[in-house]
Amino acid sequence: MTTQSTKEAPERDRLNGPVFYSSVVGIVAFSLWAMVATDQASTIINAILGWISNTFGWYYFLTVVIYLVFVIYLGLSRYGSIRLGPEHSRPDFNIFSWSAMLFSAGIGIGVIFFALAEPLTQFYNAPNAPEDQVAAARHAMELTFLHWGLSGWGIYTLVGMALAFFSYRHNLPLTIRSALYPIFGDRIYGMIGHVVDTAAVLGTVFGIAASLGIGVIQLNFGLDYMFGIPKGTWTQVVLVLGIVLFATISAVTGVERGIRRLSEFNILLAVLLLLFVLFAGKTIFLLNALVMNIGDYLSNFVSLSFNTYAFDRPTGWLNGWTLFFWAWWIAWGPFVGLFLARISRGRTIRTFVLGTMTLPIIFMFLWMSLLGNSAIDMAMNGASEFGQQVMNNPPAGIYLFLESYPMPILTTAAVSILAIVFFITSGDSGALVLSNFTSKLKNVNSDAPIWMRILWSAVIGILTLSLLLAGGLSTLQSAVVITGLPFSIVLFFMMAGLLKALKLEAFKEDSRRLSLAGQLSGRTGGGERDSRNWQQRLRRAMSFPGKKQARRFMDETCKPAMEAVRDSLQEQGVSAEIHQGVQNGDDYMSLNVDFEDEQNFTYQVWSQGFSTPGFAMHAPHADSRYYRLEVYLLEGSQGYDLMGYTRDQVISDILDQYELHMQFLHLNRIEPGNINMPDSPEQPPS
């Protein structure tokens, strides 16, 4: 059976020309313009920013809340039990490694830059801030938590969930266009898909460049503070080149070795720094403040999320803080979302939402609260000059702060290392994600070629330099707000596509519930016959066949059963075919029934090897590995073994699954706006 997905799946990894060339041309043209006509670029960028802020400020506030409500709804709904991958898939990474990569890729160096600068700035300059210092301090931490909390991670969760679902469960490309398949169908492989992926690439590149630009400024100050290396453009150029080089090396090593290990190191170093601040500072005060901050944030979350300051609009503050953060999270959505999808295959939607909406956020609350409250406490108790210095020069914040703690040389060195590794993990994961976005991969579980990652590392570095030369941090922030706007619209299409596809999954589940049970259609041949053959059932349960036995059973039992069903279907005018082969050393056999415009039916049997248990090794002719013949449908393994069944029992099982599929087609057919997801080609059960 030939389907759209098999036609589109490339035979080898190759460049996605339309997306790659349009993205690179746009980025290079912008970079040259920003470096050559710096004043003009800065003026135009700021003018566009002003128009977006005045026209779409309300839109950014509203959309961020909608994204958050949507992902929480999916996590709590019946869809939460659906896996981001085939039903038999399980997570590739443990909780610690997964959490570390969530945090390092999703937050980056911004936590060092803003950890002190934002709480102090909001303490002194937040719009409508209370005059009372204690109330102002609490309000400052509310705003800080708002900008770094649930709202932003709702965007990451939405993109990551959609990409993982469509790619790992339906074998579509690991790109943004795949989430639009339920809406546009095969047209995602044409101009619509190219435009969407290009928008995602541009938003990602500018979001990463903003983060790396912030990192360059932070590192430049740290080197000047510790070693007297002067601050300036040339120092920043050298820093960008050096960090991009290390990020490239990390990206080339891949997720498992490079990005994973750096992320684990970073999270451990960050935890040690937090513990130092907690126990070297006012421990009890900081713990009380943490609990109070969380309570203030949660109790005032709705009013904070919808406060557009309509009657007395602080345009400069909004552009530099709330609107910038919402656009930054959106611009980073494709980048972090694809990375989350890449590391989350096999988790259920519920555990994915729960993990992404709690694990990194808990750390963010700890980080911002312990550092922010420590800084505000210092400013309230005589160190007002320190507070003003940090507010006016954010990169200096963490270094000036640590001067008041023991072992300042050691702690500032640790902060610099933390910043460098955050810098590298943002760059390497960004290069990996951009390479995957602009490639056609033969397998959604693989990554783009090494040369692509090297190229995108260089592109990120060039854009970062051009934006720094065009005006530094303010230009970086303005560019992010501008590029975040078009992708925010794409996110709504992703929500619609994901919801339609999840409804389809619900119909499959309903079809199982509403169809006849397997024993009624005769899988075991009826209770009476089964009671006479209890010894045969026991022998089957204790059987651990070798590879040759499994292959012989497929040829002598499974194949005749499939042929009988196929011949009967063909007599009724239904197109049915049998495929047989070997992939990655595993034998498979597949019965495919073509329903033309409706979802096709696929019944696969895969031979899978496992280590033989110790108690079975004493049996005659026992081998170190035994084989199960597991049944796979389009959504993955059904979890049971056909080995030892008779030909008639295999036929009954095929018919059971066929009846379930027909019930599913009925439910989908009567649903308004029904859709069909692409059929997956034969895939080894990884």
Number of structural domains in the chain: 2
Q: Would you say 371 and 117 are in contact if contact means Cβ atoms under 8 Å apart? A: no
pLDDT-based confidence at residue 619 (cuts at 50, 70, 90): low
pLDDT-based confidence at residue 289 (cuts at 50, 70, 90): very high
Mean pLDDT, residues 124-140: 93
Examine the domain organization and report whether 623 and 493 are in the same domain.
no
Q: Highest mean pLDDT: which of 250-254, 406-410, 433-437, 526-530?
A: 406-410
pLDDT-based confidence at residue 440 (cuts at 50, 70, 90): confident
Question: What pLDDT was estimated at residue 479?
Answer: 74
Of 356-360, 471-475, 680-684, the least confident: 680-684
pLDDT higher than threshold 50 for residue 270: yes
**108 against 291, higher pLDDT:** 291
Query: What is the domain-level CATH number for residue 421?
Result: 1.20.1740.10
pLDDT-based confidence at residue 4 (cuts at 50, 70, 90): very low
Of 162-166, 318-322, 532-536, 651-655, the least confident: 532-536
Examine the domain organization and report whether 492 and 539 are in the same domain.
no
pLDDT higher than threshold 90 for residue 132: yes
Residue 617 maps to a domain: yes
Quote the CA–CA distance of 409 and 134 in Å, as a whole number.
Answer: 32
Residue 512 maps to a domain: no
Tally the residues of the chain.
686
Examine the domain organization and report whether 499 and 564 are in the same domain.
no
Question: What pLDDT was estimated at residue 523?
Answer: 46
Residue 436 maps to a domain: yes
Examine the domain organization and report whether 484 and 558 are in the same domain.
no
**473 against 654, higher pLDDT:** 654
Of 92-101, 392-401, 420-429, the least confident: 420-429
Examine the domain organization and report whether 466 and 431 are in the same domain.
yes
Residue 362 maps to a domain: yes
Q: What is the pLDDT of residues 574-583, one digit of tens each?
A: 999 999 988 8
Quote the CA–CA distance of 35 and 26 in Å, as a whole number.
Answer: 14
Mean pLDDT, residues 304-325: 91
Question: What pLDDT was estimated at residue 522?
Answer: 42
In this structure, is the dihedral angle defined by the CA atoms of residues 126, 132, 134 and 135, taken in order, positive or negative? negative
Residue percentage of the chain with pLDDT more than 90: 34
Examine the domain organization and report whether 537 and 630 are in the same domain.
yes
Question: What pLDDT was estimated at residue 7?
Answer: 38
Q: Would you say 431 and 425 are in contact if contact means Cβ atoms under 8 Å apart? A: no
Examine the domain organization and report whether 244 and 350 are in the same domain.
yes
Q: Provide DSSP, 241-300.
A: HHHHHHHHHHHHHHIIIIIHHHHHHHHHHHHHHHHHHHHHS-HHHHHHHHHHHHHHHHHT
Mean pLDDT, residues 32-51: 83
pLDDT-based confidence at residue 106 (cuts at 50, 70, 90): low
pLDDT higher than threshold 60 for residue 526: no
Examine the domain organization and report whether 490 and 544 are in the same domain.
no
Question: What pLDDT was estimated at residue 528?
Answer: 44
Residue 675 maps to a domain: no
Mean pLDDT, residues 599-621: 77
Token representation of residue 520? 């009624």
pLDDT higher than threshold 80 for residue 129: yes
Question: What pLDDT was estimated at residue 525?
Answer: 46
Q: Provide DSSP, 31-88.
A: HHHHHHSHHHHHHHHHHHHHHHHHHHHHHHHHHHHHHHHHHHHHHHSGGGGSBSS-TT
pLDDT higher than threshold 60 for residue 485: yes
**191 against 663, higher pLDDT:** 191
Residue 459 maps to a domain: yes
Q: Would you say 377 and 285 are in contact if contact means Cβ atoms under 8 Å apart? A: yes
Examine the domain organization and report whether 525 and 499 are in the same domain.
no
Question: What pLDDT was estimated at residue 128?
Answer: 87
Question: What pLDDT was estimated at residue 516?
Answer: 41
Closest CA to 166 of 188, 195, 135, 143: 188
**300 against 642, higher pLDDT:** 300
Residue 48 maps to a domain: yes
Examine the domain organization and report whether 292 and 189 are in the same domain.
yes
Residue 516 maps to a domain: no
Question: What pLDDT was estimated at residue 517?
Answer: 43
Of 16-25, 431-440, 669-678, the least confident: 669-678
Question: What pLDDT was estimated at residue 527?
Answer: 43
Q: What is the pLDDT of residues 457-466, one digit of tens each?
A: 888 887 777 7
Q: Highest mean pLDDT: which of 398-412, 507-521, 530-544?
A: 398-412
Examine the domain organization and report whether 445 and 590 are in the same domain.
no
- SS3 track for 94-127: CHHHHHHHHHHHHCCCHHHHHHHHHHHHHHHHCC
Q: What is the pLDDT of residues 171-180, one digit of tens each?
A: 888 889 999 9
Domain that holds residue 656: 521-669
**596 against 554, higher pLDDT:** 554
Quote the CA–CA distance of 574 and 569 in Å, as a whole number.
Answer: 5
Question: What pLDDT was estimated at residue 14?
Answer: 79
Tell me the HSE value of 246 on the side-chain side, using a 13 A CA sphere. Answer: 13
Examine the domain organization and report whether 95 and 235 are in the same domain.
yes
pLDDT higher than threshold 50 for residue 157: yes
